[in-house]
Amino acid sequence: MLLMPKRVKYRKTQKGKSRGIATTGNQLHYGEYGLKAIENGFVPARQLEASRVVVARKLRGSGKLWISAFPHKSITKKPAETRMGKGKGDLDHWVAVVKRGKVIFEIGGIPEDFAKQVLRLVAFKLSVKTRFVVRGTH
């Protein structure tokens, strides 16, 4: 099931800007290894879910995963071949706004080489460039 807020004050959000560096969430808090974003961008809910599924399949019950990005922002889309005007489009999907330096995934309870292998598979699923980080070295 895709992540999305239970309820929001306003369904349709403005586009906004995704620039700057993450000042919170830029350290490892739970696991020993993490995947840190090295560029700004939006990570759709379905990418987070695909990443979670990959990790669940690889870990097979060992270790633990923490996801520290949540898709709070709604993205709208107008139908194809529609003329301009007539208001904002219908809600299409939800995204997590990720700033440079934010640790998106944390993993623990497994050896480093295996963690690197698992988080590499996760990185392939994401639309932002990421880097593998180890507790105490970033």
Work out how many domains the chain is built from and give that number: 1
The verdict on residue 43 lying in a domain is yes
Q: At a CB cut-off of 8 Å and minimum separation 6, what does 84 contact?
A: none
Domain CATH for 49: 3.90.1170.10
The verdict on residue 127 lying in a domain is yes
Beta carbons of 95 and 28 less than 8 angstroms apart: no
- Domain of residue 123: give its range: 33-75+90-134
| Residue 56: pLDDT band with limits 50, 70, 90 | very high
Q: Give the percent of the chain with pLDDT over 70.
A: 99
Tokens of 67: 């996801």
- At residue 107, the pLDDT reads 96
Determine how many CB atoms are found less than 10 A away from the CB of residue 20: 10
Beta-bridge partner residues of 36: 103, 131
Kindly state the average pLDDT of the residues 17-42: 94
Beta carbons of 18 and 85 less than 8 angstroms apart: no
pLDDT digits over 74-95, tens only?
A: 999 999 999 999 999 999 999 9
pLDDT digits over 101-127, tens only?
A: 999 999 999 999 999 999 999 999 999
